[in-house]
Amino acid sequence: MTATGTDRVVLDGASLTPEAVVAVAREDATVTVADDAREAVRTSRERVESVLESGETVYGVTTGFGDLVDERIPPSDLEALQVNLLRSHAAGVGPELPREAVRAMLVARVNALVKGYSGVREAVVDALVDLLNAGVTPVVPAVGSLGASGDLAPLAHTSLVLVGEGEAVVDGEGLPGDEALATAGLDPLTLRAKEGLALINGTQLSVGVGALAVHDATRVVQSADVAGALTTEVTLGSTVPSHPAVSAVRPHPGQAASARNVRRCTAESGIVESHRNCDRVQDAYSLRCLPQVHGAVREAIDHLRGAVETELNSATDNPLLFAREDAPDRASGTGDAAVLSAGNFHGEPLALKLDYATAALTELAAISERRVDRLLNPSVQEPHLPPFLTEASGLRSGYMVAQYTAAAVLNECRATGRHATDSTPVSGNQEDHVSMSAGAALSLREVVEHVGTVVGIELLCGAQATEFLDGETAVAGDGESADDAASHGVGTAVAYETVREVVPRLDGDREVHVDIDRAATLVAAGLLVERVSEAVDLE
């Protein structure tokens, strides 16, 4: 089992979750390896040793790599081959990956190795665990992986630190690999046959970053439900489109979940009740179709989550080591060992879903931006709202340009992604179709952040629109006071209060970027979801 808490994650090769990756990557949870997994690692290594003793030619164990597969390596050079592999494949360029992405990659790689099909020694597993627990973070350039033969370049940069080469950061200071290890009280590792290849042949950048993105995207979708509920309320929109009867006759689970969130957030809302029998026939699509659009995005994220959870607990090495009884008769190997050369390192199962999630989240930004416009735009906003949500409009611009920013960020989202439909052959055309899954994961990460900003802008504007609601805006019903008629729902009240804790009411023009940053942080840090979830059962 993978045990998660505030400070500990146990890896067994079978049950690592995105939330556990977050605990290690961001919260520095201590990593340990389950005893059963250690036994699987030892058994797998014994199979490699039996192949070496037999003298058989086996790809990745006694041969070169990629297009050099036909080059037989003598036993005396097998250890040098492993270090040469790391050096030659550390060819990444571009900005450094953030610390959390590298740590996510490390914990995902350990979990893949402890499944027991990669043929490494326990010493290799322990060395990776030591990097995580000692806070040694390899310096890894972001660009270089094609997502086939795995994330070779990023993993090579990571693995060089194990042998005392490359670069790493310890306590905020960049150091050569050997100095970084020494600072943490760790010794360089001497690699043996197959181990260099096992360290770099996998999808761990793609899936590690994908795991972080899935976690963050889930919070963004929940935040968008809350923001949309607030906008529906302050624009005097209807919650009827979120009625369970509507979802029941079109039973997409994502639609139903977002609809429930809207209804729960607006429960007991005096604002909603005050105009329930008004003469408006229908709201604009950005309000009326919120459950359908948000729900479709939810399902895209859930689709990706399933792939990420599977990949986190998969063996993505090549070749893989099996018991002879579990492998085809023609597999390489000797005695109990069977060595299968295959393509589990190919990132396509992730790449397509990563791109899909990127496109889906872009749609979430699009509908949120349209609701921002309805809050601000004097051509479409409700009569009780002043142009751009400011008094003395003209003299003041209010949040006018916040919508510009939302539109600009949306454009960034629309220009990002679409990696999985590209492929450039490499390695002398031996690797003639690649997935680009790492690029897809990094793009998704960027888009998640962008969408959180747009949702933050909607929250900001929804809170400001609240300031123009009063007893005159909504007609109080029988036995209802004017204050009751202008009251928020259970969840939207918390959303408003949460925004107001970091952004005061806009009474005059000021630097809007500060307000946007603070509201976006409520989304990105999960603070909005945490607070609202204390009041309602947010899905």
Q: What are the residues whose beta carbons fall under 8 Å from the beta carbon of 51, sequence distance 6 or more?
A: 58, 61, 62, 332, 333, 334, 337, 339
Element (H, E) at 102: helix 99-113
Q: What does the CA dihedral 193, 195, 200, 205 come to, rounded to 10 degrees?
A: 170
Q: What does the CA dihedral 45, 49, 50, 54 come to, rounded to 10 degrees?
A: 150
Give the residue from 36, 311, 85, 297 showing the smallest Cα distance to 195: 85
Question: DSSP string covering 263-291, please?
Answer: HHHTTT-HHHHHTTT-S-----HHHHTHH
CB atoms within 10 A of CB 431: 20
Residue 27 to residue 10: CA distance in whole angstroms: 15
The token pair at 507 is: 């009474």
Classify 138 as helix, strand or coil. Answer: strand
CB atoms within 10 A of CB 249: 6
Give the residue from 306, 292, 298, 289 showing the smallest Cα distance to 370: 289
The token pair at 399 is: 């949040």
The token pair at 369 is: 């931006």
Q: Which candidate in 59, 117, 399, 496 is catalytic?
A: 59
Do residues 10 and 2 touch, judged by C-beta distance below 8 A? Answer: yes
Residue 61 to residue 339: CA distance in whole angstroms: 10
Q: What number of CA atoms fall less than 13 Å from residue 360's CA on the CB side?
A: 25
The token pair at 88 is: 């030659």
Is 496 noted as a catalytic residue in this protein? Answer: no
> With DSSP H G I counted as helix, E B as strand and the rest as coil, what are the percentages for the chain, rounded to 5?
55, 10, 35
Angle subtended by helix axes 18-27 and 290-312, to nearest 10:
80
Give the residue from 97, 73, 94 showing the smallest Cα distance to 85: 73
Residue 361 to residue 451: CA distance in whole angstroms: 7
Place of tokens 């690797």: 431
Angle subtended by helix axes 152-160 and 204-234, to nearest 10:
110
What pairing do the DSSP bridges indicate for beta strands 173-176 and 141-143?
Answer: unpaired
Q: What are the residues whose beta carbons fall under 8 Å from the beta carbon of 324, sequence distance 6 or more?
A: 331, 333, 335, 336, 337, 338
Question: Catalytic residue positions?
Answer: 59
